[in-house]
Chain A
Amino acid sequence: MQRIIKLLVKGEEQIQINTWQKLINITLISILFAAFLVFSFISIEYNLRMETIWQYRSKFISGFLLTIVIAFFSLILSLAIGIILAFASKSRFLPLYYFSKIYVEIIRSTPLLVQIYVFFYIIGTALKFENRYVMGVIILSIFSGAYICEIIRAGIDSIDNIQIETARSLGFTFFQRYRLIIIPQVIRRILPPLAGQLASLIKDSSLLSIIAVSELTRNVQEVDAINFAVFENYIVLTILYMLLTVPVLSISRRLETKFNYET
Chain B
Amino acid sequence: MKLNLKNLNKSFNDKPVLKNINLELADFHSLAIIGPSGGGKSTLLRILAGLQKPSQGEVLINGIKLASNEKDLNEYRKTLGVVFQSYNLFPHLTALENIVLPMVHAHNYNEKNAVQRAKELLRGFQLDEHEDKKPHQLSGGQMQRVAIARALAIDSKFLLLDEPTSALDPELTSEVLAMINKLEEQQKDLILVTHEMGFARQSCDYIVFIADGQVLEHGQSANIFCSPQTPELKNFLNKILEWR
Chain A residues close to B by CB (< 8 Å)? 160, 162-163, 165-173, 176, 180-181, 184-185, 188, 261-263
Contact = CB atoms under 8 A, between A and B. Distances in A.
Contact of A261 (B86, B88, B92, B136): B136
A173 B74 contact: yes
B91 A171 contact: no
Of A162, A166, A180, A262, most buried by chain B (CB within 10 Å of CB) is A166
A170 B76 CA distance: 10
A49 B134 CA distance: 58
A256 B154 CA distance: 36
Contacts of A170: 77-78, 82, 102, 106, 150, 154
Interface in B67-115: 74-75, 77-78, 80, 82, 84-88, 90-92, 101-102, 105-107
Contacts of B75: 171
Contacts, number: 63
Of B50, B87, B154, most buried by chain A (CB within 10 Å of CB) is B87
A171 B92 contact: no
B49 interface: yes
Given A166-B82, A263-B136, A171 B107 contact: yes
Contact of A180 (B49, B86, B101): B101
Contacts of B106: 170-173, 176
Nearest to B101: A180
Given A166-B87, A170-B106, A171-B106, 15 more contacts: A160-B87, A165-B84, A166-B88, A166-B90, A168-B51, A168-B74, A168-B77, A169-B82, A170-B82, A171-B74, A173-B74, A180-B101, A261-B136, A263-B91, A263-B92
A163 to B, nearest CB: 6
Contact of B105 (A172, A184, A263): A172
A171 to B, nearest CB: 4
A261 B92 CA distance: 11
A181 B90 contact: yes
B225 to A, nearest CB: 30
A160 B80 CA distance: 22
